[in-house]
Amino acid sequence: MSMIHDDTLPDLKRLTEILRILAKYEFGSVVEKIGLKNQLPLSERFKKGSSIDEFDSSVSERLRMVLEELGTTFIKLGQILSTRPDLVGEELAQEFSKLQDSTPAFEFEKIKSVIEEQLKSPLDEVFSKFNEVPLASASVGQVHQAVLKNKSNVAVKVQRPGLERQVNQDIRLMHYLADLIDRRIPKWKYYNLPGIVDEFERSILKEMDYGQESRNSKRFKEIFKGDRTVYVPKIYNEHSTTKVLTMEFIDGVKVRDIMESDGSEDKFNRKLIAKRGAESYFKQILIHGFFHADPHPSNIYVLKHNIICFLDFGMMGSIDEESREDLAELFIFIINNDVNGIINQLIYMGILSESVDRKSIKYDLMDLMDKYIGTEIKQVGNVLQDLSSSNILEKYQIKFPKEFVLLSRVITMMEDTGQKLDPEFNGVEIAKPFVKKLLVRKLNPARLLDFIGENIFEFEHLMKIFPRSISKTLMKLEEGKINIEMEHKNLDIISGSLDRITNRISLALIISALIIGSSLIMQTNKGILLLGFPFLGIIGFVISAVLGMALVISILRYRQI
């Protein structure tokens, strides 16, 4: 699916609906500020709305209600923003996390029509049984249990009919409104609404592409190949398309159900489940750099023998090897409560500017870390979450990479689940072996050979252009065509020092000349004599002595002797 960002006029009927709902929840002043008040129905135009500069305490709740009423696309936008407290603030992110992605099931005839159109076969030719009552229904699609002709028990995920058209229309409207707000409400430029819409568009188009989810599942399965503690459902590619996904039916228990039970009838080892879940996540993040980005307890099942099973691979995260190593080093500084180390690492990662007021941010970070002093840090995700959602971001104009914020959310959710399953859960102790493995790999001498191998063509290009660049530079230097730009710092101090040095040298030369001249005059025995010596020679020696004493005193005063 392609990105939807053009200058065509949006659907006016849907635009009017969006504006009406904004006015309904007292955001009429925003509509007025962006110049679209005339698009509102007459009954809504004169309603008093909240000021765009000073929202009251109910703004977060009202914004959530707006998104809920606007439907699928906007609910998804809110859910994604709930993972970005660095963009919308902690309060709004918490409120958006309440958005429920569940809608009434749509008619079976529509389901059947989509499946037959996508698989290009009648339903009864593909499945021997198909349960018309859905197992689950959401805004993007719904899931039905079925049995294939080969007797495999499967779950069939079917995209909601007409969803693609609705999402495309809404995204076009989002771009239109975001651009208007960005231009006409300067105070909101900081939030970069057009950029947020771009990021959301990429995310939802991936989630709507079941082909992408199938590829994610296959890659995820490779990570845990040979690992008997984690299971990944089989995807039946021959019965899957971009709008229909047929996968192995999982007969297990949701982690959420285990968490909410009183434990009296548990058939599972909660402590072991918490440990295996955490190990699987640190393996995904630190070793492979490809991780399940929605560790909701309803997306993780437990099978017999306490085996962890992941579902729903529509939302995945990626992090490259260099970033994983940086993150591992940051973990170490956080675990050791080393504020200076945290600052240095954030600067090295490019998150903090080298020109930052280190003293000021050090005290702010110390305040942030105060609650962990004297206690063992057991959940590194909480520290990352505190760091990425604190007022330090705004104060120092820090923009965390979206991968970092997503990671902190994922690790926090995973560790919170572990804590609820096992009160003695210690995420840091589970993470340590993976951090150690990553850093040992980084320091391995063989890594240098790998680096050379991976960058061999870069080295070849460098060797080709290096002699040519040196030759050009020498030619320009010879022709006098090199221009050097200099930025001076404290030049006035240097200039003053040079003046003193020059004056002392000049004075020393004058004294030397006087002494030599006076000595020559003393040998003439001519002119006015004083005590048998030429008067001018005596005067020369006296002046030389006075100037010499002044020079010595000056040197001693500035302690340069």
What is the full DSSP assignment across 303-347?
A: EGGGEEEE---SSEEE--HHHHHHHHHHHHHHHTT-HHHHHHHHH
Question: In the prediction, which pLDDT does 450 show?
Answer: 64
User: Which two three-digit tokens encode residue 339?
Assistant: 């504020």
pLDDT band for position 60 (cuts 50, 70, 90):
confident
Among candidate residues 239, 242, 253, 243, the one with its CA nearest the CA of residue 146: 239
pLDDT band for position 536 (cuts 50, 70, 90):
confident
Question: In the prediction, which pLDDT does 371 show?
Answer: 74
Asked whether the predicted pLDDT for residue 326 surpasses 60, the reply is yes
Question: In the prediction, which pLDDT does 240 show?
Answer: 96
Of the two residues 422 and 43, the one the predictor is more confident about is: 422
The C-alpha torsion from 59 through 65 and 69 to 70, rounded to 10°, is: 40
Among candidate residues 146, 73, 58, the one with its CA nearest the CA of residue 103: 73
Q: Which residues make Cβ contacts (< 8 Å) with residue 365, sequence separation at least 6?
A: 339, 342, 343, 392
Question: In the prediction, which pLDDT does 353 show?
Answer: 81
pLDDT band for position 307 (cuts 50, 70, 90):
very high
User: Which two three-digit tokens encode residue 139?
Assistant: 């805004």
Question: In the prediction, which pLDDT does 42 show?
Answer: 60
Q: Rounded to two decimals, what is the model's pTM? A: 0.70
- The angle subtended at Cα 181 by Cα 180 and Cα 186, nearest 5°, is 120
Spatial separation of the C-alpha atoms in residues 240 and 126, rounded to whole Å:
11
State the average pLDDT over residues 5-18. Answer: 72
Question: In the prediction, which pLDDT does 560 show?
Answer: 45
Asked whether the predicted pLDDT for residue 311 surpasses 80, the reply is yes
Q: Which residues make Cβ contacts (< 8 Å) with residue 118, sequence separation at least 6?
A: 241, 242, 243, 244
Question: In the prediction, which pLDDT does 51 show?
Answer: 47
The kind and range of the H/E element at 308 are strand 307-310
pLDDT band for position 250 (cuts 50, 70, 90):
very high
What 8-state DSSP symbol labels residue 287?
A: I
Residue burial 449-459, b: 16+ Cβ < 10 Å; e: rest: eeeeeeeeeee
State the average pLDDT over residues 304-316. Answer: 92
State the average pLDDT over residues 41-46. Answer: 59
User: Which two three-digit tokens encode residue 82?
Assistant: 């709930």
State the average pLDDT over residues 40-47. Answer: 60
Question: In the prediction, which pLDDT does 486 show?
Answer: 61
Of the two residues 438 and 44, the one the predictor is more confident about is: 438
| Secondary structure (3-state) at 499 | helix
What amino acid is encoded at 193 in this protein?
A: L
Asked whether the predicted pLDDT for residue 55 surpasses 60, the reply is no
State the average pLDDT over residues 477-486. Answer: 68
Spatial separation of the C-alpha atoms in residues 157 and 142, rounded to whole Å:
6
Question: In the prediction, which pLDDT does 527 show?
Answer: 66
What amino acid is encoded at 14 in this protein?
A: R
| Secondary structure (3-state) at 447 | helix
Asked whether the predicted pLDDT for residue 443 surpasses 70, the reply is yes
pLDDT band for position 153 (cuts 50, 70, 90):
very high
Percent pLDDT > 90 in the chain is 27
Q: What is the mean pLDDT of the chain?
A: 81
State the average pLDDT over residues 541-557. Answer: 73
Question: In the prediction, which pLDDT does 277 show?
Answer: 94
Question: In the prediction, which pLDDT does 8 show?
Answer: 53
Spatial separation of the C-alpha atoms in residues 216 and 557, rounded to whole Å:
76
Question: In the prediction, which pLDDT does 136 show?
Answer: 86
pLDDT in tens, 178-222: 898 888 888 777 677 888 888 889 888 888 899 999 999 999 999
Asked whether the predicted pLDDT for residue 495 surpasses 90, the reply is no
State the average pLDDT over residues 499-507. Answer: 72
| Secondary structure (3-state) at 127 | strand
* Phi and psi, residue 375, nearest 5°: -125, 155
Asked whether the predicted pLDDT for residue 423 surpasses 80, the reply is yes
Angle between helices 402-421 and 270-282 (to 10 degrees): 170
Which of 96-100, 267-271, 532-536, 548-552 is predicted with the least confidence, judged by mean pLDDT? Answer: 532-536
**DSSP-assigned beta bridge partners for residue 307:** 303
How far is the CA of 561 from the CAs of 58, 494, 504, in angstroms?
Answer: 73, 19, 12
State the average pLDDT over residues 445-474. Answer: 68
Of the two residues 387 and 127, the one the predictor is more confident about is: 127
What 8-state DSSP symbol labels residue 118?
A: H
Asked whether the predicted pLDDT for residue 53 surpasses 90, the reply is no
The C-alpha torsion from 493 through 494 and 498 to 501, rounded to 10°, is: 70
Asked whether the predicted pLDDT for residue 103 surpasses 60, the reply is yes
Which of 113-127, 152-166, 497-511 is predicted with the least confidence, judged by mean pLDDT? Answer: 497-511
pLDDT band for position 418 (cuts 50, 70, 90):
very high
Which residues are known to be catalytic? Answer: 294
pLDDT band for position 54 (cuts 50, 70, 90):
very low
